[in-house]
A and B are shown apart, each in its own frame.
Chain A
Amino acid sequence: MFYHLITLGCQMNVSDSERMHSILQRMGYVNTDNEEEANLLGILACSVRQKAIDKVYSRIHKWNKWKNKRNLITFVSGCVLPADKEKFLKQFDLVFPMSEANQLPDMIREYGVTSGISLKTGSSRIPSNDNIFSLWNVNPTYHSSFEAFVPIQNGCDKFCTFCAVPYTRGREVSRPSSDILEEISKLVRGGYKSITLLGQNVNSYGKDKTGEEISFAQLLEQIGELGIVSGREFLVYYTSPHPRDMKTEVVDVMAKYKVLAKMVHLPLQSGDDKVLVKMNRGYNIEKYREIISYIQLKMPEATLFTDIIVGFTGETEEQFQNTVKAIDEFKFNMAYIAKYSARPGAASYRWDDDVKIADKKDRFERLTQQLSQISEAYNNSLIGKSFRVLVLGKDRKPGHLYGLTEGKIIVRFASANESLIGTFTDVKIVSASDFSVEGKTEMVLDELRVS
């Protein structure tokens, strides 16, 4: 029996899918890339953008047509808003939150003798995370042999007005630190080079179990110690932290340990204090500036990534200009810029989406252009310097490989040696463009020097 699983959205869904693959394979199903031969078809949905939800509707429409010709079971899980869940219940055989995924074998067994309505739907509008631990205990089928995601926390209590995640993922729940450290130890022993700690608010880690669990800074410290004891070369990243919970202790620990990558992805969302108030972000630009200053003081080499929303409800040109100033001030290496779109379930969905589409597009383009100039200037400053690069794969440019520096700057270099993929190699930067640099491996440079 074959299964076909489609994963939409963020790294959290990718991480969840690694566990879902294990659950399905444990049941005797075999993964197939060809959905037409699968008996079990599933989607891990994403509700951050309407486009991703549209994909789910389009796919189930197609799958349900196939049901007339052959026996198959369909399911949907992941991030699903209550309103979409109601509709999915009529279209999919099984609809369940990811925290219930470990019970999928029972659901499928029962499905064979009951009606085509979901057996596990839960009644609560905000999904319960009570069973997320059983999902975390599943050994994942990692998507790579050298890069891995490790979930440390799930859910969100922040209720940013533009975001529906609290309604799709439930409340903040921290995974036991002993389990996290055990999974990381296994990965390190298995030769993994890049490990990303995942959660909706990673730096809220432990807050749901105050007094019973260590803090995020303490967790990083233990991972740092594990790195020293292991003697292995690997890097640990985390995403996403929330500026509201960012503590100086986290930065201190990052600066102390080599395995903790000197790269911070800290979502700003807007550079305007009033827009931040309206977004219910719980910090202002002054507080954000304090965090960035501390990062730059303790880790001057650290790269900075962020997320920005342009055209949020009521955002004026003047308020947008404050975001322009913030981008200029903080000199982000990368910003994931999104044009605001109201998400059903989020508080702002009920507010007037009053910034014209053309203005959102214009602001998006201006910010992208600005980011491109800042990033290019930074990348130019790297020319002539050498970096350890984790080689990720073959580049689109023939005869080239690509990888990432510790700060996640994309590096391309000429090499046909595919055995480098999944290893660290030293690369000297020789040219730069806006969002990547080009280099030569030190091995190639040595050869050039000899000849």
Chain B
Amino acid sequence: MSKIDIQAMIAPYSVKEIRNLCDASYVVRFNKNTLAFRAGQHLVVGVLGSSEAREYSVYSGRDEEFLEILVREVEDGIVSRKLRRLKEGNTLEVNGPYGFFLTNAQPPENKKLLFIASGTGIAPFHSFVKTYPNADYTIIHGIRTLDEAYERECYKENRYVACTSRENTGDFHGRLTTYLKNMDIDKETMVYLCGNSDMVFESIDILQEKGLSNSHIFTEVYF
């Protein structure tokens, strides 16, 4: 029988690092303790002692020694602004993990995967790729400017497409749905969408027009 690490079970979720990725977005890294999760699941995170918390998909890989969440600072946002001001050693309240998104994508399933994300909706896919770097995936990421292509270097070459809508600096200049319309997609591909509802809805319509079955389309709406 494996030894239970009591210290780890009762340890606080201490902030290890706040990593700024661009003006609006940042990563919070904190202790993992004994928390186990599947890529695609989310946590409910708040500052310890505060009555407010929010759901954030895990950004880090399953086997990494820490947990990370990707946060976009929202104007007038209560939690996103508080989290950014945290310092190393501050304590978080963390509940979870929750959710089933990407459950059907995990090995031993070995299907072709298409991940479609807008903005911070990339987080569950980042976690997945960190966990399963050899999976057969393609990511289409809808962002406004290239600085929102959060840590794209972790994806394999030709597997990540940044669609920038406000400047011609990405792999494709325009909305991700425009890119999707012109894309050839194998009907057996499993498609996972994460981000704002307008993008998700429009993408579903495009995928259905391309003949993909509803049973191959999975969604997680952020707002």
Q: CB within 8 Å of B: which residues of A?
A: 82-83, 86, 123-126, 157, 159, 161, 166, 273-274, 277-278, 280, 282, 284, 286-287, 314, 347, 350-351
Instruction: Report the nearest A residue to B93, measured CB to CB.
Output: A125
Question: Is the beta-carbon distance between B51 and A159 smaller than 8 angstroms?
Answer: no
Q: Whole-angstrom distance between the alpha carbons of A37 and B99 in the complex?
A: 47
Since A125-B93, A273-B204, A350-B223 are in contact, a sample of 8 more A-B pairs with Cβ atoms closer than 8 Å, ordered by chain A residue number, is A125-B53, A125-B95, A126-B95, A274-B201, A277-B200, A277-B219, A287-B214, A287-B215
Instruction: Report the nearest B residue to A127, measured CB to CB.
Output: B95
For the side of the interface on B, what is the size category? 20 to 34
Instruction: List B contacts of A350 (CB < 8 A).
Output: 223
Residues B145-192 near A (CB distance < 8 A): none
Question: Is the beta-carbon distance between B220 and A280 smaller than 8 angstroms?
Answer: yes
Total contacts A-B at CB 8 Å: 47
Q: Whole-angstrom distance between the alpha carbons of A123 and B55 in the complex?
A: 18
**Pairs A–B under 8 Å by Cβ, sample size 7:** A83-B51, A125-B46, A157-B99, A159-B55, A161-B221, A273-B214, A274-B201
Asked if A347 meets B53 with Cβ closer than 8 Å, knowing A274-B201, A286-B214, the reply is: no
Q: CB within 8 Å of A: which residues of B?
A: 42, 44, 46, 51, 53, 55, 93, 95-96, 98-100, 197, 200-201, 204, 214-215, 219-221, 223
CB of B164, distance to nearest CB on chain A (Å)? 25
Instruction: List B contacts of A278 (CB < 8 A).
Output: 197, 221
Question: Is the beta-carbon distance between B221 and A124 smaller than 8 angstroms?
Answer: no
Instruction: List B contacts of A287 (CB < 8 A).
Output: 214-215
Instruction: List B contacts of A314 (CB < 8 A).
Output: 197
CB of A398, distance to nearest CB on chain B (Å)? 53
10 smallest beta-carbon distances between A and B, as pairs: A126-B95, A277-B219, A274-B201, A278-B197, A284-B214, A125-B53, A278-B221, A86-B51, A286-B214, A82-B51
Instruction: Report the nearest B residue to A82, measured CB to CB.
Output: B51
Instruction: Report the nearest A residue to B208, measured CB to CB.
Output: A273
CB of A312, distance to nearest CB on chain B (Å)? 11
Interface centre among B55, B93, B95, B220 (most CB of A within 10 A): B95
Question: Is the beta-carbon distance between A125 and B220 smaller than 8 angstroms?
Answer: no
The one of A166, A274, A347 that contacts B204, using a Cβ cutoff of 8 Å: A274
The one of B53, B98, B200, B204 that contacts A159, using a Cβ cutoff of 8 Å: B98
Q: Whole-angstrom distance between the alpha carbons of A100 and B223 in the complex?
A: 35
Question: Is the beta-carbon distance between A280 and B221 smaller than 8 angstroms?
Answer: yes
The one of B95, B99, B204 that contacts A124, using a Cβ cutoff of 8 Å: B95
Question: Is the beta-carbon distance between A277 and B223 smaller than 8 angstroms?
Answer: no
Instruction: List A contacts of B55 (CB < 8 A).
Output: 159, 347
CB of B3, distance to nearest CB on chain A (Å)? 22
Instruction: Report the nearest B residue to A124, measured CB to CB.
Output: B95
Q: Whole-angstrom distance between the alpha carbons of A314 and B93 in the complex?
A: 32
Instruction: Report the nearest B residue to A123, measured CB to CB.
Output: B93
Question: Is the beta-carbon distance between A277 and B197 smaller than 8 angstroms?
Answer: yes
CB of A89, distance to nearest CB on chain B (Å)? 11
Instruction: List A contacts of B98 (CB < 8 A).
Output: 157, 159, 166
Q: Whole-angstrom distance between the alpha carbons of A314 and B197 in the complex?
A: 10
Instruction: List A contacts of B223 (CB < 8 A).
Output: 350-351
Instruction: List B contacts of A282 (CB < 8 A).
Output: 100
CB of A180, distance to nearest CB on chain B (Å)? 25
Question: Is the beta-carbon distance between B201 and A277 smaller than 8 angstroms?
Answer: yes
CB of A123, distance to nearest CB on chain B (Å)? 8
Q: Whole-angstrom distance between the alpha carbons of A277 and B200 in the complex?
A: 9
Instruction: Report the nearest A residue to B55, measured CB to CB.
Output: A347
CB of B35, distance to nearest CB on chain A (Å)? 13
Instruction: List B contacts of A124 (CB < 8 A).
Output: 93, 95
Q: Whole-angstrom distance between the alpha carbons of A281 and B16 in the complex?
A: 35
